[in-house]
Amino acid sequence: MTEAVLLVGGQGTRLRPLTVNTPKPMLPVAGVPFTVHQITRARDAGVTRIVLATSYRADVFREFIEDADLGIDVVIATEDEPLGTGGAIRHALPHLESGSDDPVLIFNGDVLSGLDIAGLVRHHRDSRSDVTLYLTPVEDPRAYGLVPTDATGRVQAFLEKPKTEAEIVTNTINAGCYVFTRSVIDRIPAGRPVSVERETFPGLLAEGALVTGVVDTGYWLDLGTPLSFVQGSVDLVLGRAPSPAVTSTGEALLLPGASVAPDARVIGGSAIGRDAVVGAGAIVDGAVVFDGATIAEGARVENSIVGAGAVVGAGTVLCGAVIGDGAVLGRGNELLDGARVWPGAHLADGSVRFSSDA
Ligand code: GDD
Ligand code: MG
């Protein structure tokens, strides 16, 4: 038996306003809450029990898990106050059944990857590591945890979100999945916030613990920003990213009840939610349209996210925009490059030609 802890308690600040009502891992990606892709991948890799470490909007997870049948035992742990990544792992400990020498998988709740999860656990056992980290190379590592290793794979440092050029010693980053020997979790301080990245990993390295990195160059994406959120959904729909929760791949995914006018074009790996409507002549390209939203005739929606029940007026153009749940955009607006509309907001016809670098 292998157990896992899935860290899903963050506020998803960079995905506001979508995360005002829904925590990031519960937002629909290629038709199901993102967390379902991760849970089913873990299940298929042999994980039999998973603890969801929740904090922000824990109620939304609880309600979903009560009714879901994901073929794996899911337990929910909820922090009263957010305890940070390390604090959340420690808080999940009483829910784990593993022995003190057993490996426990930890997943960040917003990472889509093609990692060989079972292979990582095997590597952890074979190398007798205290902690094994999944690492991946990226072009620009500054938004991540930098993890230099020696020739044997032994981790030499952990530099979370480097501030100076001098700290950028590698482009190999922490890819957000770890194997901890359970007794190492026991030693994380309880009852206070702890960052696994800023406190636990540097502390383990300072005391000479064996922390091993495994570099995997396959598919990897952190869905923390609007553009990467759209990218993750598109890659799943097109079949570029692996998930057992996606059963058929193609140019578009239409959920039950979605209706698309015969001359509308839904392309580029777009996902159209339940009972959503795409009107005559509209173009939806590389976008995510949540349940019950309406894209009116002649509108163009590219690389954007349209929240549940939102309305995009006739002829309106969205490109790289995020529209909150229930917002109503009148006809002939244009929202580009990082524009965000808050839930329930109304924009009059032709009132906005907006572009920003946000
Ligand atoms: N339960 C709980 N409680 N979960 C939390 C808390 C908390 O207080 N704070 C954050 N999390 C969860 C988030 O929900 C997310 O799934 C995960 O921890 C990581 O938080 P992010 O906010 O997404 O961090 P990040 O993307 O800036 O950086 C992390 O991920 C990178 C890879 O994607 C770090 O681990 C980096 O080192 C790493 O490179
Ligand atoms: Mg993240």
Return per-residue pLDDT of the chain as tens, 358 residues.
799 999 999 999 999 999 998 999 999 999 999 999 999 999 999 999 999 999 999 999 999 999 999 999 999 999 999 999 999 999 999 999 999 999 999 999 999 999 999 999 999 999 999 999 999 999 999 999 999 999 999 999 999 999 998 889 999 999 999 999 999 999 999 999 999 999 999 999 999 999 999 999 999 999 999 999 999 999 999 999 999 999 899 999 999 999 999 999 999 999 999 999 999 999 999 999 999 999 999 999 999 999 999 999 999 999 999 999 999 999 999 999 899 999 999 999 988 886 555 4
For residue 232, being part of any structural domain is answered with: no
pLDDT at residue 358, rounded to an integer: 47
For residue 282, being part of any structural domain is answered with: yes
pLDDT at residue 106, rounded to an integer: 98
Collect residues with CB below 5 Å from ion ligand 2: 110, 222, 224
For residue 103, being part of any structural domain is answered with: yes
**Does the CB atom of residue 174 touch ligand 1 within 6 A?**
yes
In this structure, are 222 and 294 located in the same domain? no
Mutate to test the pocket of ligand 1, among 83, 91, 110 (most ligand atoms within 8 A of CB): 110
- Domain CATH code at residue 316: 2.160.10.10
User: What residues does 57 pair with on adjacent strands?
Assistant: 55
164-184 in b/e form (b: 16+ CB < 10 A) is eeeeeeeebbbbbbbbbbbeb
**Residue 5 region, left (φ>0) first, then alpha (ψ -120 to 50), else beta?**
beta
> What is the CA(333)–ligand 2 centre distance, in A?
31
Of ligand 1's listed atoms, the one at least distance from the Cα of 173 is 39
Which ligand is closest to the CA of 82, given by its number? 1
In this structure, are 109 and 143 located in the same domain? yes
φ, ψ (nearest 5 deg) of residue 242: -90, 135
**Does the CB atom of residue 109 touch ligand 1 within 6 A?**
yes
**Does the CB atom of residue 79 touch ligand 1 within 6 A?**
yes
**Which residue, among 37, 67, 27, has the nearest Cα to 245 in the 3D structure?**
37
Going by alpha carbons, the residue nearest to atom 25 of ligand 1 is 144
In this structure, are 181 and 219 located in the same domain? yes
**Residue 29 region, left (φ>0) first, then alpha (ψ -120 to 50), else beta?**
beta
- In the DSSP assignment, the letter for residue 291 is T
For residue 98, being part of any structural domain is answered with: yes
Question: Considering 176, 210, 226, which residue would you say is the last residue of a domain?
Answer: 226
**Does the CB atom of residue 197 touch ligand 1 within 6 A?**
yes
In this structure, are 211 and 167 located in the same domain? yes
Going by alpha carbons, the residue nearest to atom 1 of ligand 1 is 9
- Rounded to two decimals, the pTM is 0.94
In this structure, are 209 and 265 located in the same domain? no
In this structure, are 47 and 180 located in the same domain? yes
First vs last Cα of the chain: how many Å apart? Answer: 45
Which ligand is closest to the CA of 10, given by its number? 1
In this structure, are 171 and 303 located in the same domain? no
For residue 352, being part of any structural domain is answered with: no
Question: Considering 190, 210, 226, which residue would you say is the last residue of a domain?
Answer: 226
Q: Cis check for the bond before 193: say yes or no (omega within 30 of 0).
A: no
Separation CA 192–CA 4 (nearest Å)? 21
In this structure, are 215 and 314 located in the same domain? no
**Does the CB atom of residue 92 touch ligand 1 within 6 A?**
no
- Domain CATH code at residue 8: 3.90.550.10
Which ligand is closest to the CA of 195, given by its number? 1
For residue 206, being part of any structural domain is answered with: yes
In this structure, are 34 and 142 located in the same domain? yes
**Structural domain harbouring 257:** 251-347
For residue 324, being part of any structural domain is answered with: yes
Overall number of domains in the chain:
2
**Does the CB atom of residue 222 touch ligand 1 within 6 A?**
yes
> What is the CA(308)–ligand 1 centre distance, in A?
25
**Does the CB atom of residue 106 touch ligand 1 within 6 A?**
no
For residue 205, being part of any structural domain is answered with: yes
Question: Considering 226, 261, 279, which residue would you say is the last residue of a domain?
Answer: 226
**Does the CB atom of residue 55 touch ligand 1 within 6 A?**
yes
In this structure, are 216 and 286 located in the same domain? no
**Does the CB atom of residue 202 touch ligand 1 within 6 A?**
no
In this structure, are 218 and 267 located in the same domain? no
In this structure, are 61 and 206 located in the same domain? yes
Q: What is the DSSP string of 198-245?
A: IIIHHHHHHTT--EEEEE--S-EEE--SHHHHHHHHHHHHHTSS--TT
